[in-house]
Structure 1
């Protein structure tokens, strides 16, 4: 059974559809990557999945439960977390306080989750008392992803996790994503750095004009000459 099965999604803004029948499916423990040109509907897809945008037609099933148009707070309890591209940390709060904010719905002892996040994002450990606004872009992204991990998600949605980062930090974020996935967390992310993202993807989805143009394993998409020519810069 798929961890996530989104079928025939139609959604948009102001009565105009951006998504025109998008299908996304990944199994538990997989990394799925959504790529495509600007305006293809990549980020719109994530927002629709996480209840931030109303789905006019189609369905979303998470771990066998229909969550179509469910509010975001209920999706967290179903095992889904979302890290937006921008404004994804509390700048004036410390790293540690940001992580604790990710556990605001918990009523149990979550100290083991803090340890887990610091193990995955080791550079944050030494900066735990530093305001997030003083961190580099790559470190802020680590805080944002780490905070999302505090809910113990089964599926983590990431919108452009390497946007604006240097090649060094981009590689480090991808390495951390692989490490999170290795713990059994499914990941679905939107990425502009398509080649690098598809290299770590179990499944890849190439969107164009709000529709699936290609769907295959990450490696198969990298090896497809039409995908390379049209979407990966040759």
Structure 2
């Protein structure tokens, strides 16, 4: 049984339909990467999973349970975390305070989880008393990742985590995605840097015009001439 299964998903904003029959399945412990041109419905897919917009048809199952239409604030209890592309840290709070905010639903001692986040992101431990707004873009992204990990998610949704970052930080973010996945967290990620993202993906989903164009392993998609020509720039 798949941890995440999306079937014939139709969704959009208000009366505007963006997704027109998206299918997607991830097993526990996999990295799934969604790529495609602008306007294909990539970020919309993540937002639909996270209960942020109107679903008109189809279903979303998580860990054997139908979560179609469940609102964002309730999904943390299902151990699903979402890292949006923008506005994903509290700029005036310290790094440590940002991580504490990520644990808002917990009523137990989460110091062990905090230590684990600092192990995955060593730069954050060094800057834990610094306001997040003073950090570089790549470091702020690490704060956003770390905050999402504070609920010990089974699934983490990442919306273009390398957007606007330098090549050095881009590489570091992909390395951290792999590190997070190796701890057992399933990852669903939207990425504009398609070649780099598919290189670390167990499964890849190429969307165009709100529907699946190709679905395969990351490696097979990279080696597919039609995918390369139409979606990977070569």
TM-score band, normalised by shorter chain: over 0.9
Does residue 179 of structure 2 align to residue 179 of structure 1?
yes
Corresponding position of 1:228:
228
Deviation, 1:13, is 1.5
SS in 1 for 2:20: strand
- How high is the TM-score relative to the length of structure 2? 0.99
Deviation, 1:14, is 2.4
- How high is the TM-score relative to the length of structure 1? 0.99
Corresponding position of 1:197:
197
Corresponding position of 2:95:
95
Corresponding position of 1:168:
168
SS in 2 for 1:123: helix
Hey, what's the Cα distance between the residues in 2 that align with 1:59 and 1:157?
17
Does residue 22 of structure 2 align to residue 22 of structure 1?
yes
Judge conservation of contact 2:99–2:150 (CA < 8 Å) in 1: yes
Corresponding position of 2:109:
109
Hey, what's the Cα distance between the residues in 1 that align with 2:53 and 2:160?
18
Q: State how 1:114-125 maps to structure 2 within 5 Å.
A: 114-125=114-125
Deviation, 1:57, is 0.3
Hey, what's the Cα distance between the residues in 1 that align with 2:86 and 2:51?
18
Corresponding position of 2:3:
3
Hey, what's the Cα distance between the residues in 2 that align with 1:202 and 1:144?
23
Deviation, 1:78, is 0.6
Judge conservation of contact 2:80–2:155 (CA < 8 Å) in 1: yes
SS in 2 for 1:11: strand
| Unaligned runs of at least 5 residues, structure 2 | none
Hey, what's the Cα distance between the residues in 1 that align with 2:54 and 2:204?
24
Judge conservation of contact 2:14–2:54 (CA < 8 Å) in 1: no
SS in 2 for 1:85: coil
Deviation, 1:224, is 0.0
Does residue 215 of structure 2 align to residue 215 of structure 1?
yes
Hey, what's the Cα distance between the residues in 2 that align with 1:13 and 1:62?
23
SS in 2 for 1:215: strand
Hey, what's the Cα distance between the residues in 1 that align with 2:153 and 2:192?
24
| Unaligned runs of at least 5 residues, structure 1 | none
SS in 1 for 2:73: helix
Corresponding position of 1:31:
31
Corresponding position of 1:72:
72
SS in 2 for 1:37: coil
Corresponding position of 2:146:
146
